[in-house]
Structure 1
Amino acid sequence: MTPSDTSLSIDYLRRHNLILFEAVSGSRAYGTDLPHSDTDLKGVFVLPEALYYGLDYVPQVANATNDEVFYELRRFVELLLKNNPTALEILASPADCIRYQHPLFEAFRPAQFLSKLCRQTFAEYAVAQIRKAKGLNKKINNPEPPARKSVLDFCYVTVGAGAQPADKWLSRQGYAAARCGLANVPHLTDLYALFVDLAEVPTLGYRGLVKDAETSNDVLLSAVPKGEVPVAYLSFNRNGYSTYCRVYKEYWDWVARRNAERYENTVQHGKNYDAKNMLHVFRLLRTALEIATTGQLHVRRPDRDFLLRIRRGEFEYDTLVAEAEALVAQVEAAFAKSALPEAPDKQRAVDLLIATRRQFYASL
């Protein structure tokens, strides 16, 4: 019985001999694994004919933790044509990492697909990781307190030719915020006339400066009786408040999502950067440089010791970022004069895809 697209699993692929290729990937393939490193698996499979010819095409299958991922043959070729690093690394898996290879898969070789597109897929991805590292560095060194600032923290009251924070001004004047009222000043954005009800028993009905100090996202306006004179003018730094809210949310979203083990490692080595992230920056850039200069992809890294020193946090953050940015320039120059084609030969890949699928189905 042919499975539905929702019941297709890696176990089903194995039991029905639908796998073309399977290999250990990740740090164990790169040679940067440690004793506690996970064992990740990547592979390529062919859909059962009924699913392929029907409406339930499945591009990939993974286990619950996503440390085992298998790509359907068509999707795999699509990724190869884009010079996707993951697909190319599967194809160039070290011999000691290969767990199974169908005879038909021997026709797929990295040299058929390597091109100048690798400049973008390897190097530009590494650049994105550098930006990510900078963002992480900023978050670690500029943590946001759990208590969120309020609108009033971004309000200032005019005092002579200057201004004071609203809460400080109110305290010095002995005014309660609940006795205050705000009114728009025509033609002036985010500037408000500030009125205070000074009667022993308030009678003017002012609503205060904000509806709720903890939850409000704007100042609160009041109806001001005709003839009342403002005691000062209040400016709300709306853009500053909006930026703060975004940064605050990003920080605490990051706290909620961050990998606890990797964060503890970052704290322990004391250099305030994600060492594993920076390891991959240099792995990707050095791999890209080798592709541009030699036309070959080496998944097993010859610079293992250097990469593990990064992972242990032996280098300063600024030093690594400067070296990575210099390496980016080398990669750009190398691809500019590389003998690699601009892109893989699409028709050749399509012919190989069709021939492989036909032979595979014919053998079942």
Structure 2
Amino acid sequence: MRAPAVRTLRAILLLTLAGLFAGCSTAEYAHQAWQGQRAVIRDSVPIRAILEDPTADPNLQSRLAAALQARRFASDTLALPDNPSYTRYTALPRLYVVWNVFVTPEFSLDPVEHCYLVAGCVAYKGYFQEERAHREASAWRERGMDVFVGGVPAYSTLGWYDDPVLSSMMHWDDDYVAKLIFHELAHQQFYIKDDTAFNESFASFVGQQGLRQWRASRNLPPPDMALDRRQQQLTELVLAARDGLATLYASNLSEAEKRAAKTERFAQLRADYQRLRDEQWEGFAGFDQWFGDSLNNAALLPFGLYDQWIPAFERLFQQVGEDWTAFYAAVEQLGNMEGPDRTRRLVQLAGES
């Protein structure tokens, strides 16, 4: 999956270490998660050591120096946790650090959830080996389920370990790396169980606002929002399709009729995307690979989760005078609310933005 698609599915983000804390996981799954995380930590090297190594790749040194500066900015200016996370670097022997497997029934948009002691319930399982992820996916397909496998460039251990900068993060530009560091540290700053939309929208806001301030601190213009606008348009397109599918699955049609209508709806989604790409995006093809894969219910799951409440967090940030410490305190108050009360407050905030 190419960079823009990965950004849109952000994370397909980012709590894959949950397997380490499994409360209802197989021994094999917990073992691969432990071994994978152990290797990531074991193979990490202090970024300072790479910067001081005369034999190191100059391009890598430049990239890591920028990442280290962003890391310092995160704590000094954004008031994010001040710890050794993202001060080390791990060169991975693969394109992504993990692959996440999403699963839904054939006629449902409700994910098969996996629940863990620390991370709570999440809508995927993460594997450090691509082959294992696809093996898991095949097992679910044999049971008639819709499955999607997505590569992930980074994840957060929620402060349990000192997360390193990963080579899988370095395939994209310095802005992306900085935003990802801010995003992941936000998960360390505050996280609640069983509310992915809250957690990811909060972290996404911190990443976006942090990047704006990071660039301003270096007298650079605001980040180019063209890709963000395209991502938003694509998300709106997918969410509309998802609403239509939800109505279809709740209908009294027979399974054969639902299956035919489902195929038609996904064909329409692909056609709508092609029209958007050709007529409004001047042929920008950054999401073509995702649409080239088999579209199904599971592939739609990540959309909307990572930006649903960004307008609410933007408004909250403004209400506290754009003070990061006060903002995190307000976010914690929101997070401590009961789920329905928290949702009502988020809706209210989003309406005020």
Q: Same fold (TM over 0.5)?
A: no
Q: Which has the higher strand share?
A: 1
Larger Rg: 1
Provide the TM-score with structure 2 as the length reference: 0.29
